[in-house]
């Protein structure tokens, strides 16, 4: 049973997430723009690339699977102005395995030295489907 009002799902409906290496997952954030497709591409056992069509960015990600939950850390530069900076974790995603898909349940964005959660109403409906 999916409870869309608070973006939670019944634990019974979750399913174990298998190996993601060499897979690609897509999400279409705007149904009216068919060419706008967000992508998660998993390259190795713990590294991949996230593409955001809205921002037209390709960002490096590292990930970890814990049974039915996928944790992703998205890397970027803390400042676009200062050169020679190291990449830092800019966002953290938490997704669950659900009916063969990956459903977003939490997003946190860097705010200085802390991470703030995105309002759940903005992540309802973010589900990635495996590209065959």
Is the model more confident about 97 or about 32? Answer: 97
Written as one string, the DSSP assignment of 13-74 is GB------TTEEEEE-S-TT-TT--EEEEE-SSSEEEEEETTTTEEEEEEEEEETTEEEEEE
Is the model more confident about 12 or about 129? Answer: 129
pLDDT in tens, 71-127: 999 998 877 666 667 889 999 999 999 999 999 999 999 998 899 999 999 998 899
Supply the mean pLDDT for the chain: 88
For position 10, what pLDDT does the model report?
58
Is the model more confident about 34 or about 74? Answer: 74
Per domain, the residue ranges of the chain are 15-130
- Residue range 42-71: mean pLDDT, rounded: 95
- Residue range 13-18: mean pLDDT, rounded: 90
Q: CB 6: neighbour CB atoms within 10 A? A: 9
pLDDT of 13 higher than 90: no
CB contact at 8 A, 113 and 90: no
For position 5, what pLDDT does the model report?
39
């Amino acid at each position: 049973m999916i409870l869309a009002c608070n973006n939670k799902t019944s634990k019974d409906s979750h399913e174990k997430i298998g190996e993601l290496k060499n897979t690609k997952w897509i999400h279409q954030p705007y149904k009216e723009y068919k060419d706008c497709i967000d992508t998660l591409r998993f390259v190795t056992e713990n590294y991949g690339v996230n593409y955001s069509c809205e921002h037209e960015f390709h960002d490096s990600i590292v990930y970890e699977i814990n049974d039915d939950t996928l944790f992703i850390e998205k890397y970027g530069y803390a400042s676009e102005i200062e050169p020679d900076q190291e990449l830092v974790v800019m966002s953290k995603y938490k997704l669950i395995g659900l009916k063969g898909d990956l459903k977003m349940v939490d997003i946190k964005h860097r705010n200085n030295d802390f991470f703030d959660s995105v309002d759940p109403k903005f992540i309802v409906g973010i589900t990635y489907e495996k590209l065959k």
